[in-house]
Amino acid sequence: MLNIGIIGCGDVATHSYMPGLKALADRARVVAVFDIVPSRVDDALAFFPDAAPYTDYDAFVAHDAEKMDLVFNLTPAPLHREITSKALEAGYSVYSEKPIASTLGDAEALVALAESKGLHFFCAPAMMVTGRFMWLKEFIYSGAIGNPYFIKGQIGGMGPASWRTYSGDPRVFYTPKVGPLIDLGVYQLHALTGLFGPARTVSAVGGIMNPTRKLLQPKFFGEEIEVQAPDLYSINLTFDNNRSANLFNTFAMPATKSAMFEIYGSMGAVSIGQHQWYEGNGTTDIYVRDESEGGEAEGWNNDSPLPNPIEVDGILESGILHAIDVMTNGTDNVLTAAHAEHVLEIMLAAGESLTTGDSIAITSSL
């Protein structure tokens, strides 16, 4: 049984991580919860009444009634480095929400710290440990769609300012350290690089399309905020073996009917629609080419079920399950800090390319 601590008991904690951890209570027990806002700690206690409640970080890291094996850092993005660093320093393995940090130097320092302490360091997003993507990685190289050579990804909307039921602070998402890439594009970049390997070059167009936003949550309704980070990116990426990809990622898209993720190969295509993407064990549409004389097999196999679904369905929940598995059974960690650092380099390069117009070489690997 693993002892778990939770840092940051806000929107994603209460909607995904806490229910996800509760569902795995036979393997992991939440023993301490921490947030600087007391009402958020109360929300956590509703899930885990026996957990020790903290509103002070020093007191939380000193918690020694039941030593924590793993802490989840579920604070807003700009705080990740500082919170993770202190937890590692205190000797706790960490599961960090994305991004790992805001700069490559900070990310490298965290990786070095975790290594020097011999601690596990898991980095969201958990795309590559979902049932679908574990299968897809084998499927696209099985010959089923010939040689896979291009991925087209799209993820976005209008962002948290227009997400009426969002219970966190939407303003942080339009500041320079967040934006649509750090918030959402990161999922697709983990998937792209998880399937095609490390990106070699990045170029991007886009910028700030809507310079101000009206907040629609009841708590903030009508407040107008300034958009300080690009809210639209179209990013071209190159990979080894003549593979490439495009990611369209934005907080400036009122609506879309496009698929979220498509892979093209010489003999077929894979398509994951908006209704399928968020289900880790969800169905996938597969197109098969048939060059035989009759061509009978040519066409779409829509909603193909996943051959080997895993125990949990959500993307975030798949990450929790993976971390527990690694720490309990010694399975290899797929949610590595090296992968998160590589994706951070891509995201920073996309920002640089927007400003300079240059194609940027990527030096890190997975």
Q: How far apart are CA 35 and CA 351, in angstroms?
A: 32
Interface with ligand NAD, residue 314, by CB under 6 A = no
Count of residues in contact with ligand NAD, rule CB under 6 A: 24
**Quick one: 130 or 271, whose CB is closer to ligand NAD?**
130
The CA distances from residue 175 to 43, 78, 110, 114, 171, in Å, are 27, 10, 23, 28, 7
Give buried/exposed letters for 86-107 (b at 16+ CB in 10 A, else e): bbbebebbbbbbbbbbbebebb
83-142 residues in contact with ligand NAD (CB under 6 A) are 97-98
* Nearest one of 315, 336, 360 to 107, comparing CA atoms: 336
By C-beta, is 40 or 213 nearer to ligand NAD? Answer: 40
* Segment lying near ligand NAD (by CB under 6 A), choices 22-30, 167-175, 225-233, 249-257: 167-175
Restricting to residues 168-207, which ones interact with ligand NAD according to CB under 6 A?
168-169, 183
* Interaction between residue 79 and ligand NAD (CB under 6 A): yes
Which one, 37 or 62, has the nearer CB to ligand NAD? 37
Among 52, 77, 247, 253, binds ligand NAD (CB under 6 A): 77
**Is 317 a residue that touches ligand NAD (CB under 6 A)?**
no
What are residue 153's DSSP bridge partners? 247, 261
- The answer to whether 289 and 146 have CB atoms below 8 angstroms apart is yes
Q: Name the one range near ligand NAD by CB under 6 A: 68-76, 85-93, 202-210, 246-254.
A: 68-76
Least Å distance, CB 344 to ligand NAD, is 13
Q: How far is the CB of 7 from ligand NAD (least distance, A)?
A: 5
Q: Of the candidates 272, 233, 276, 274, which has an alpha carbon nearest to the alpha carbon of residue 251? A: 233
Element spanning 320, H or E: helix 315-329
Find the binder of ligand NAD among 23, 45, 66, 76 (CB under 6 A).
76
Among 1, 22, 25, 37, binds ligand NAD (CB under 6 A): 37
Buried b (16+ CB within 10 A) or exposed e, 277-309: bebbbbbbbbbeeeeeeeeeeeeeeeeeebeeb
By CB under 6 A, name the binding residues for ligand NAD.
7-13, 34-37, 40, 57, 74-77, 79, 97-98, 167-169, 183
